């Protein structure tokens, strides 16, 4: 597991009316001060990867559909520099993922339905000066194989 990445299993409180769950909560170790919350929907089979931030923490919560979340530690001073971590999240595994500064991240939508993702960030997006460093999804230094392995 990459140093500083935190995963919170989301607990659903269900009854005959539906369910309720807490996602981001002050006092928990997966909390960061939120300056923006964004929502995205991505079509089946699409890969959105990779990017990383110099100032921003991301806290992801995949809501509908399912995704393969891939993290790669880019931080020079990290004990897990160069390590890759894979997390499966979405409606089949409701999780929140805390992504530290300097950890590259991306995902692939699994299954036949779009995946929806809420992401909370510690910084507001500034289109004039975006805090996003891009890396191709097939970057040879990361070397991640996005294909599904039949077992």
Homologous superfamily (CATH) of 6-134 is Jelly Rolls (2.60.120.10)
- The model's pLDDT over 10-28, given as tens digits with 9 standing for 90+, comes to 998 888 988 888 888 898 9
Q: From CA 137, how far away is CA 127, in angstroms rounded?
A: 22
What residues does 59 pair with on adjacent strands? 98, 120
- Domain spans of the chain, in order of start: 6-134
Q: From CA 8, how far away is CA 95, in angstroms rounded?
A: 6
Cα-based angle 48, 53, 55 (whole degrees, multiple of 5): 155
- The model's pLDDT over 53-102, given as tens digits with 9 standing for 90+, comes to 999 999 999 999 999 999 999 999 999 999 999 999 999 999 999 999 99
Three-state secondary structure of 115-143: EEEEEEECCCCCCCCCCCEECCCCCCCCC
Q: From CA 150, how far away is CA 142, in angstroms rounded?
A: 22
Model pTM score: 0.93
């Amino acid at each position: 597991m990459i140093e500083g990445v935190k995963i919170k299993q989301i607990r659903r409180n269900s009854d005959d009316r539906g369910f309720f769950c807490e996602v981001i909560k002050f006092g928990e170790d997966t909390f960061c001060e939120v300056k923006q919350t964004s929502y995205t929907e991505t079509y089946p089979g699409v890969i959105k990867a990779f990017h990383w931030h110099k100032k921003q923490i991301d806290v992801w919560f995949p809501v509908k559909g399912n995704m393969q979340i891939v993290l790669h530690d880019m931080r020079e001073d990290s004990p897990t520099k160069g390590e890759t971590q894979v997390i499966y999240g979405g409606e089949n595994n409701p999780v929140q993922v805390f992504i530290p500064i300097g950890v590259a991240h991306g995902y692939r939508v699994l299954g036949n339905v779009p995946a929806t993702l809420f992401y909370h960030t510690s910084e507001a997006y500034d289109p004039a000066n975006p805090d996003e460093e891009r890396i191709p999804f097939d970057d040879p230094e990361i070397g991640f194989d996005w294909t599904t392995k039949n077992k």
